[in-house]
Structure 1
């Protein structure tokens, strides 16, 4: 019999809030977060007016807060975030659903638009796969750009299919909470929207 697999979105599905702002707060402090977002407000307005793509907006934010940072130091701090801050943001019923899939012998993967840097350590602690947005690194420094495409919408399905042969699974489950998760839910036999 073929195994089953479950795909979980991260921000808003597993967590209570968007972790991008929380990771900035953890690295830089609340004052720096608010000051930075104030300085970036013209770009944020353009984004809200759909004059800037989601990927471009994220790159503006990444470059402002982390551009030129040591990639190794950033990842170490992200691992600390996963250990110290992230557990307080995780929805207990979502975590229980993940554990239930694991108990049943299902493969589990988190598929997220957040950067793998601050999601993968948490996934590893549970023994599950992390598929996320990848930050570009050049000469061991974060450039602020995204490597490839932001892992959202159709790109979630593309990345899933690059990682797993879906024909090898009996049943596919998927959990999400935004329109960016709809394509992923569409490939599942059991797709759950805002279940938690």
Structure 2
């Protein structure tokens, strides 16, 4: 039985937000968009999501104004976060920090967020540990942490690319010739 996507008996803002981002895989797609994933095949390879589910979630996020489909230079379009999607960053950051605090990865954090302006780590509350300012998603550099397993031959292109420092919201530079 498929669960409904809406919460008609709930009248709060959280229920309305959950109607947009509360389905399985949706927040991981949003996370990957922040990381710089743009193409359908790269979302699919990195997430291991069934293609029909991924297609449905991308369509839902596009219809809700969280993502936009952008014509690509090649034969297929790609996806980018809209300002409405970028506004989800505090929630994505908070859920990630909660996961690190309550369900940590073996060996330590897998990815460290740093303030691009001064290269200082960013705390779980989104503030730079050096300057104390809140750091916007576009000003974050993501770097490998001590818990990130070493690259493996079978890694998808997104996982392989995330072994290098990368600025959030910028397209991820995927190695050419790597299957996706």
Q: Which has the higher strand share?
A: 1
Provide TM-score, normalisation by structure 2: 0.27
Higher RCO structure (Cα 8 Å, ≥6 apart): 1
Provide TM-score, normalisation by structure 1: 0.26
